[in-house]
Amino acid sequence: MELNILNKTNNELEVEIRGETHTLLNLLKSLLIEDERVEAAFYDMKYVSISEPILYIKTNGVDPILVLKDAAESVVSQCDEFIDVFSKAANA
């Protein structure tokens, strides 16, 4: 994965996330939309095999980098929770 910040203002962020697909981008978008600090969040992936996805975030004034970091931490937390629950179920 390679991440390039294409554009950043006080309340907007446009990031190219090379090597990723709908799986990660849709999860991040969903978490961002649930965040009350986010006014808009979407991604564009024109052609899966030949173009890189671009994630766009617009906040209510909060630093969009902070908001994206929080969403990424939530992904990690959810994965950790799944591993714990799955491990318990697999050992039962």
Q: What is the dihedral of CA 78, 59, 12, 80, to 10 degrees?
A: -10
What pLDDT shows up at residue 48? Answer: 65
pTM for this structure?
A: 0.88
- Classified as helix, coil or strand, 6 is strand
List, run by run, the mean pLDDT of 10-residue segments along the chain (92 residues): 96 95 93 98 83 95 98 96 94 79
Domain of residue 20, CATH code:
3.30.1360.10
pLDDT score for 68:
98
Domain that holds residue 70: 2-91
| Neighbour count for residue 5 (Cβ, 10 Å) | 11
Domain count for the chain? 1
Helices 64-91 and 22-34 pack at an angle, to 10 degrees, of 110
